[in-house]
Amino acid sequence: MTNIDHKKVVSFSNVSKSYRRPGLFKSLEIPALRGLSLDLERGEIAGLLGLNGAGKTTIMKLMTGLLFPDAGSISIFGLSPSDVNTKKRIGFLPELPYFYPYSTAAEALLYYAGLSGLKGAEARSRVDAIIEKVGLKPHAAKKAAEFSKGMMQRLGVAQAIVHDPELLILDEPVSGLDPLAIHEIRNLISDFNGSNRTVFLSSHSISELEKVSDRVFILVQGRLAKTVARAEWENVKGGLEEIFVNAVKTPVTGDSYPA
Amino acid sequence: MKNFFTAWNIARHSLVENYKNRFFALFVIFAGVLIYASLLAGVMAMDEEARVITDLGLALMELTALAYALLAAASTITREIETKTIYLIFSRPVPRPAYLAGKAAGLYASLALMLGVMALIQLSLISFRGFALPPFYLKAVFFIWCKLLIIISAVLFISLFSTSTVSTITISGILWTLGHFTSEAKFLINKSSGSASLLLKACAYFIPNFQLFNARDLGASGPAPAGPGFLAAYLLLWVSAPYLFSLVLFRKKEF
């Protein structure tokens, strides 16, 4: 489907992460990821599938340096996720992105382009091109406060790709969007991936991941339950949904899943 | 140099966001109304009208700017965390020291702008009443800004460990008040003895002396309590120390 060159872009090795909830006498540890290992290859579109609380957003935050792992190691382009040289090459769309209400779409993108290292005329021309690409040109002078959810999501995708990253991380990019907006976001992802760049996206929508992904990681209770390649779900009756339901219903044994 | 451009970018954006916020305009309008109302007090002061208008106006400017500074500084980072706009910043090559410096600089610039507008309103009224510009006026406005720089730096630091915006504003308000009574506090410390004295002395190191920047008091009478070199060093210390402490708290903060 896409041009994958099997060079590792992201590598998680035995990564664990817990959240601490402060209690009266001692804090409560809530495990989010347990000994997770996975790799992403250059040029692929990899999907992340899991129930609520499975750890999908935690993985994405660890990749973008917003969280730090408790154990294990993460390498992106051979560097730490916190390294500024790594972050230059990453674009991130969080779930339900929010923008400064007094900024217009163009101002917001110019700000984020500047933070990503683009300057002056280069930043402005890049912002103009991206606004056009995501279909926000008629709304470029509107304030973010006046944006609909679909427009906000397009702006979110625009800020993630404004600096032309090599790795795009999308957390629930089509959540709550209408079918037309979903179609447009899907096209944007495919366009982006067309130039041998990597996309990693999470979604609750199995059919959405089936349409765009080369591989899907199924996450259950913070553990990687199964990695499924496109050929695998295309050859199974019931497709990816059947594989996902089976994976989620398989009882967890100790610290790992049965092979 | 790249860090400087990043901090500059954040500062500029923070300034624009602040002055576009309706609270900024509301505070300036409120201060304008209060300054205008101070004309009434001036009329009642008979032959001291110019001095009363100036002093009262400066005090009102300081209090209004302080209220805005506390509110803006206490919420600037927490709001970014709550609205998750911080995700879009720290998923980019933005070093945390540059972010903090940019946020602080944006607030310093916003307060300079606010004080500038308020001063223009007051000077227009002074001129309208036919009085000359008081000789210490610009120095007084500058010193109000210096005090605000210190309190903004402290508020940013407090907001990083405080549990709510209200508690940040409360702690900062107490700090501001205590900072205006440092000579009285020193007198009490000298009168106390034993472990209580040691404890009070240690606490005194964590309270900035805002009296050093009370140019209004110095306008008409009395020598300056410290030279410009000392004041500059004192300001630098009280702006940079909270920044460095903030960095320690912010370095490994997760979002």
Please name the residues in contact with A73: beta carbons below 8 A apart, sequence gap of 6 or more: A12, A13, A14, A15
In this predicted structure, what is the pLDDT of residue A248?
Answer: 87
Q: What residue type is B80 in one-letter code? A: E
- CA dist A215 and B184 (Å) reads 71
The pLDDT-based confidence of A215 (bands split at 50, 70, 90) is very high
Looking at CA atoms only, how far is residue B70 from chain A in angstroms?
20
Q: What angle do CA B76, B15, A97 make, to 5 degrees?
A: 55
Residue B5 contacts A, CB cutoff 8 Å: yes
Indicate the average pLDDT of chain A: 89
Please name the residues in contact with A173: beta carbons below 8 A apart, sequence gap of 6 or more: A93, A153, A156, A157, A185, A189, A201, A203
List the structure tokens of B228: 């410009």
In this predicted structure, what is the pLDDT of residue B232?
Answer: 94
Of B9, B17, B21, the CB nearest to A115: B9
Which of B37-51, B124-138, B170-184 shows the lowest mean pLDDT across its residues?
B37-51
Q: What residue type is B169 in one-letter code? A: I
Of B6, B87, B95, the CB nearest to A92: B87
In this predicted structure, what is the pLDDT of residue A140?
Answer: 86
Which residues of A have a CB under 8 Å from any CB of B?
61, 64-68, 84-85, 87-88, 90, 92, 94, 96-100, 102-103, 111-112, 114-117, 119, 159, 163, 169
pLDDT digits over B180-238, tens only? Answer: 988 888 888 888 777 777 887 888 888 999 988 887 666 555 556 678 899 999 999 99
- CA dist A51 and A185 (Å) reads 22
Residues of A in contact with B93 (CB under 8 A): 84-85, 87-88, 115-117
Asked if A227 and A193 touch (Cβ cutoff 8 Å), the reply is: no
List the structure tokens of B42: 């001036």
Flag whether pLDDT at B2 surpasses 50: yes
Give the mean model confidence (pLDDT) for residues A167-183: 88
Flag whether pLDDT at A151 surpasses 50: yes
In this predicted structure, what is the pLDDT of residue A258?
Answer: 46
Looking at CA atoms only, how far is residue A159 from chain B in angstroms?
8
Counting one residue from chain A and one from chain B, the pairs whose CB atoms sit within 8 A come to: 73
Give the mean model confidence (pLDDT) for residues A60-78: 95
Q: What residue type is B105 in one-letter code? A: A
In this predicted structure, what is the pLDDT of residue A259?
Answer: 41
- CA dist B80 and B68 (Å) reads 18
Give the mean model confidence (pLDDT) for residues A212-218: 94
Residues of B in contact with A87 (CB under 8 A): 91-94
pLDDT digits over A98-144, tens only? Answer: 998 889 999 999 999 999 999 889 999 999 999 998 888 888 888 98
Contacts by residues B224-232 (CB-CB < 8 Å, ≥ 24 positions apart): B231/B146
List the structure tokens of A104: 């217009």
Burial class from Cβ neighbours inside 10 Å (0-12, 13-18, 19+) for residue A165 reads buried
Indicate the average pLDDT of chain B: 89
Which of A170-179, B95-104, B142-151, B161-170 shows the lowest mean pLDDT across its residues?
A170-179
Flag whether pLDDT at A48 surpasses 90: yes
Burial class from Cβ neighbours inside 10 Å (0-12, 13-18, 19+) for residue A238 reads exposed
The pLDDT-based confidence of A56 (bands split at 50, 70, 90) is very high
pTM: 0.89
Flag whether pLDDT at A25 surpasses 50: yes
The pLDDT-based confidence of B163 (bands split at 50, 70, 90) is confident
- CA dist B97 and B99 (Å) reads 5
Half-sphere exposure for A121 (CA within 13 Å, toward CB): 0
- CA dist B110 and B18 (Å) reads 7
pLDDT digits over B4-58, tens only? Answer: 999 999 999 999 999 998 899 999 999 999 888 888 887 787 778 888 889 999 9
| Integer angstrom CA distances of residue A143 from A127, B238, B253 | 16, 38, 31
Q: What is the largest CA-CA distance in chain B?
A: 62
ipTM of this complex prediction, to 2 decimal places: 0.89
Backbone angles phi, psi at A164, to 5 degrees: 55, 60
Q: What angle do CA B42, B45, B50 make, to 5 degrees?
A: 50
Please name each of the domains of chain A with its CATH number: 1-89+168-259 (3.40.50.300), 97-164 (no CATH)
Give the mean model confidence (pLDDT) for residues A13-30: 88
Give the mean model confidence (pLDDT) for residues A61-83: 95
Give the mean model confidence (pLDDT) for residues A165-169: 95
Among B162, B164, B119, B159, smallest CA distance to B139 is for: B119
- CA dist A217 and A227 (Å) reads 5
Q: What angle do CA A220, A222, A228 make, to 5 degrees?
A: 50
Give the mean model confidence (pLDDT) for residues A41-55: 93
